[in-house]
Amino acid sequence: MLTPSRVSALEAVVACVLDGAPLAAARRAVVTREVTRRLAMLAPAQQRDLGRALDLFDSRLAGLAAIGRPVTFVAADAEAQARWLAAWSGSPVPALRTAFQAFRRLALGTHYSDPDVALAIGHGGPLHARQPAVRWEGPLPQGAPDGPVAIGRADLRPQLAPSVPPRGVVRAADVRGDTHRTADVVVIGTGAGGAVAAARLAEAGFEVVILEEGAWYGPSDFTETETPLAERLYADGAMRATDDLAVQLLQGRAVGGSTTINWMIMLRTPAFVLDEWRRDHGLAELDAASLDAAFARVEQEVHARPVPDDAHSPNNRVILDGARALGWRASTAVINADGCVRSGFCGIGCRYEAKRGTLVTYVPRALASGATLHTEARADRIELRERDGGAGQPPLKRVHATLTDASTGATRALTIDAPIVIVAAGAVGSPALLQRSGMGGDAVGRWLRLHPTTATIGVFDHEIVGSAGIPLSTMCDEHIRWNGSDYGFWLECPPFLPGLGAVAAPGFGRAHAECMTQFRHLGSVIALTRDGADTQVSSGGVTVQRDGRVSIEYALTKADAQRVSASIEAAARLQLAAGAREVRTLHTEPVVMRSERDLARLRGTSVAANRVGLFSAHVNGSCRMGGDRRTAATSPEGERYGARGVYVCDGSLLPTALGVNPQETIMALATVLSERLAARYGPLVTTHGDLA
């Protein structure tokens, strides 16, 4: 992809983006090499497009268009280079905005996640390698014995032996040749849906084989180092995004799926959302009364408990204090944790095994009941082997998977024959797998919902240190039913690790560097919108292209854009009310506010693609369930229309966006649907033998 001229252009772009950043001059070549490596991980089409963008930096005509001078980017002086990038950042040409954001994010994320740079801006580094430095990290001095946070002194630096997978986990490196086997049920994915279904069915007596595309990681693997872990634990090496790069998508790719990397909040599906599902989607049996038992059961199994009042970080206090000053509704969060030491590294795995994600709850339960888990196993397609199942069973399927040894690159074929297949690969992976299997059509891949999320960054006089403590322990849902509708937004706190924070912070060059030097005084509030207000409009979709590439398209509708804009204003108002002396948005040209009257500057600012930073950790809806196959991919039981015995059991099932973080809803739905499936078929006896 990178010719010598492209490398020169990239080096110059990196230098411009990092202008003024601490240690930038010494690390410029290192960052350029790392950005080059990361670019090579992108899909071929994205590499091609960004390569063409680098060619434009070597074009005098492009220079004339960007800065009014016929020079190349490399030949231009520093001031002209900055004007060139600024011109691309706000260009009316979407491809130029996309290219700018790609290079900006890669350079900033790579640079600021380096331990030396992080230390230079005031980040404390891995908690297990030091003592707690602020009062909102480490165990609590005292508290309720059954609470989520550890009490008293805890050894944060235990000598951990190398992590060894439990019995029943088969890594790709352990498989010496192509393998074929049978099972009652194949479950594809180990996140909030797949792991729960696997555990319920294994405990009901089914022979279960689980496939996970990512690897298994134990406590010693979670080293609290940002970039290496993000690459391993996130889909597409933490570079998954919509095709135009306008929305970054944060999804897990490891045993535990997104429950291994999320921020732990547990929220039940709002009653008004369930009412909509029953009214508009034919889901009469999914009401609050029928789900209450599943919610309560899941909450007990993952140790969901409210965060103690004295455990909040200053960043989360901003939510409570700002809401109180404004008369808004805000509350303490319930999180799935037991023995949390408030390290702040939840987004890159929990070294202390305190986060009760599926990695340490439902996956071990499935294994204890006889399930087998294959890791580094990519499900390629599902083949229908029989038209009709015997003895009341669904037709036999064959799941074709590829095992890849990450250390050597060696691959092996794994095929599994089973009458029941549960697809739980997430709202990108699940529709893609169904389409590759000839089970597309209907709503498969359509109706993608993201809870589009943006943020405001506040500067406070007192220390915030948003990288420390429980990242998400409070929330404000004052506007969840905005303007009297069922579609609104809510406010939460994210972790502000150096790499993630640098990418989120707007701008580049010296203005961005000045912001990052205030790292310990920066507070952030994320604003999440319940998208889909135009209920008859599909905002986006997931499609497998002819060359095998998975395309992810998404665009805000007019109604959703109005809510995103309103959410930005609300987040800024809340931070100002909590005492921020300055608040800035994530617009390409950030709006800076220092008082309530400055909020008027937000009106009319665009939230179009790549004009404001958007991301999402809630990727849902692309195989939604419903009573009408013209608008749904699966039945109310989660079964793919026209493919008996193929079920979907993850966030892609959700008929609409939720308006709350989806972890608990997915776990509860997986409980209800898998137990209905178990009651329907009873423990199957695999008698098909080796049909290879």
Residues of 146-160 as b/e, b for ≥16 C-beta within 10 angstroms? Answer: ebbbbeeebebeeee
* Tokens representing residue 437 in the block: 């299997």
Q: Does 303 have pLDDT greater than 80?
A: yes
Counting Cβ atoms within 10 Å, is residue 390 exposed (0-12), middle (13-18) or buried (19+)? Answer: exposed
- Residue of 234, 240, 243, 236 lying closest to 45 (CA atoms): 243
Mean of the pLDDT values across residues 276-288?
92
Q: Does 125 have pLDDT greater than 80?
A: yes
DSSP 598: G
Helix or strand run (H / E) with residue 366: helix 362-368
SS3 682: coil
The CA-atom distances, in angstroms, between 203 and each of 207, 422, 639 are 9, 16, 21
Q: Does 326 have pLDDT greater than 60?
A: yes
- Residue of 223, 222, 302 lying closest to 265 (CA atoms): 302
* Tokens representing residue 26 in the block: 């010494």
- Residue of 381, 477, 431 lying closest to 624 (CA atoms): 431
Angle (deg, nearest 10), helices 288-301 and 663-681: 100
Counting Cβ atoms within 10 Å, is residue 130 exposed (0-12), middle (13-18) or buried (19+)? Answer: exposed
Q: How many CA atoms lie within 13 A of 503 on its CB side?
A: 23
The CA-atom distances, in angstroms, between 257 and each of 235, 253, 333 are 9, 5, 22
- Which residue has 């002396």 as its token pair? 581
Angle at 28 between CA 512 and CA 501, to 5 degrees: 35
Three-state secondary structure string covering 224-243: CCHHHHHHHHEHHHHCCECC
Percent of the chain with pLDDT over 70: 97
Mean of the pLDDT values across residues 163-179?
95
Over the chain, what is the mean pLDDT? 94
Residue 679 neighbours by CB distance under 10 Å: 9
In the prediction, which pLDDT does 685 show? 55
Q: Does 690 have pLDDT greater than 50?
A: no
φ, ψ of residue 453 to 5 degrees: the values are -125, 135
Number of H helices and number of E strands within the chain?
Answer: 18, 23
Mean of the pLDDT values across residues 405-426?
96
Which residues, 6+ apart, have CB-to-CB distance to 396 below 8 Å? 384, 385, 386, 389, 417, 418, 419, 688, 691
Which residues, 6+ apart, have CB-to-CB distance to 385 below 8 Å? 395, 396, 397, 398, 417, 691
Q: How confident is the model at residue 159 (pLDDT cuts 50, 70, 90)?
A: confident
Residue 29 neighbours by CB distance under 10 Å: 12
- Residue of 193, 185, 23, 178 lying closest to 111 (CA atoms): 23
Helices (H), 392-546: 426-436, 498-504, 509-516
Q: How confident is the model at residue 1 (pLDDT cuts 50, 70, 90)?
A: low
Q: How confident is the model at residue 687 (pLDDT cuts 50, 70, 90)?
A: very low
In the prediction, which pLDDT does 263 show? 97
Cα dihedral: 87, 88, 90, 91 (round 10)? 100
Tell me the β-bridge partners of 330: 476
Angle (deg, nearest 10), helices 4-17 and 24-39: 130
DSSP 406: T
Q: Are the C-beta atoms of 37 and 50 separated by less than 8 Å?
A: no
φ, ψ of residue 592 to 5 degrees: the values are -110, 130
State which amino acid sits at residue 584: R
φ, ψ of residue 561 to 5 degrees: the values are -60, -40
Tell me the β-bridge partners of 234: 252
What is the DSSP secondary-structure string of 439-475?
Answer: ---TTTT-S-B---EEEEEEE-SS---TTSS-S--EE
pLDDT in tens, 146-157: 999 999 866 677
Task: Return d(Cα 416, Cα 643) in angstroms, integer.
Answer: 17
In the prediction, which pLDDT does 290 show? 81
Q: Does 273 have pLDDT greater than 90?
A: yes
In the prediction, which pLDDT does 44 show? 87
pLDDT in tens, 83-95: 999 999 999 999 9
Q: Does 69 have pLDDT greater than 80?
A: yes
374: left (phi over 0), alpha (psi -120 to 50) or beta: beta
Mean of the pLDDT values across residues 506-535?
96
SS3 384: strand
pLDDT in tens, 449-501: 999 999 999 999 999 999 999 999 999 999 999 999 999 999 999 999 999 99
Q: Does 158 have pLDDT greater than 80?
A: no
Q: Are the C-beta atoms of 88 and 100 separated by less than 8 Å?
A: yes
In the prediction, which pLDDT does 389 show? 67
- Which residue has 């990108």 as its token pair? 428
Task: Return d(Cα 444, Cα 428) in angstroms, integer.
Answer: 10
Cα 592 to its chain centre, rounded Å, is 28
Q: How confident is the model at residue 287 (pLDDT cuts 50, 70, 90)?
A: confident
- Which residue has 């091609």 as its token pair? 48
SS3 370: coil
State which amino acid sits at residue 267: L
In the prediction, which pLDDT does 691 show? 37
Task: For CA atoms 417, 421, 424, 425, give the dihedral sign.
Answer: positive
In the prediction, which pLDDT does 515 show? 95
Helix or strand run (H / E) with residue 10: helix 4-17
Q: Are the C-beta atoms of 233 and 351 separated by less than 8 Å?
A: no
Mean of the pLDDT values across residues 532-552?
94
Cα 375 to its chain centre, rounded Å, is 20
Q: How confident is the model at residue 143 (pLDDT cuts 50, 70, 90)?
A: confident
Q: Does 42 have pLDDT greater than 90?
A: no
333: left (phi over 0), alpha (psi -120 to 50) or beta: beta
Which stretches does DSSP call E strand in 86-172? 169-170
Q: Does 358 have pLDDT greater than 50?
A: yes
**Residue ranges of domains in the chain:** 4-112, 453-616
Higher local confidence (pLDDT), 537 or 667: 667
Q: Does 689 have pLDDT greater than 50?
A: no
